[in-house]
């Protein structure tokens, strides 16, 4: 099982910078960068809730489940968690 992050796409659609999102969510730029690049193993629901609230989106807009049996093409975008 893999979870792919599309946070960068949603941020771009909203013209939101990493620094602005981190400030509005209330976490450090470093932690937001780790989330955005998929260098995390878990995310707190409270953080996910805050990100969705700031970006006015649903969790499914930034998270996508990929079954390990499916062929995943990194060229399609997204970051793995």
Query: Domain containing 61 — which CATH number?
Result: 1.10.260.40
Q: Enumerate the H helices of the chain as residue ranges.
A: 7-13, 18-25, 29-36, 45-55, 59-62
Q: What is the pLDDT of residues 10-59, one digit of tens each?
A: 999 999 999 999 999 999 999 999 999 989 999 999 999 999 999 999 99
Cα-Cα end-to-end distance for the chain: 10
What domain range is 6 assigned to? 2-80
68 compared with 46, residue with greater pLDDT: 46
Rounded Cα–Cα distance for residues 26 and 19 (Å): 10
Cβ(6)–Cβ(32) below 8 Å: no
Report the chain's C-alpha Rg in angstroms.
12
Total of domains in the chain: 1
Cβ(50)–Cβ(26) below 8 Å: yes
State pTM to two decimals: 0.80
């Amino acid at each position: 099982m893999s979870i792919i992050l599309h946070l960068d796409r949603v941020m771009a659609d909203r013209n939101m910078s990493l620094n602005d999102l981190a400030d509005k969510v209330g976490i450090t730029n470093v932690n937001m960068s780790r989330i955005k690049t998929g260098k995390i193993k878990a995310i707190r629901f409270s953080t996910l809730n805050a990100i969705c609230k700031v970006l006015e989106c649903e969790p499914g807009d930034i998270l996508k489940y990929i079954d390990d049996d499916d062929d995943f093409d990194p060229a399609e975008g997204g970051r793995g968690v």
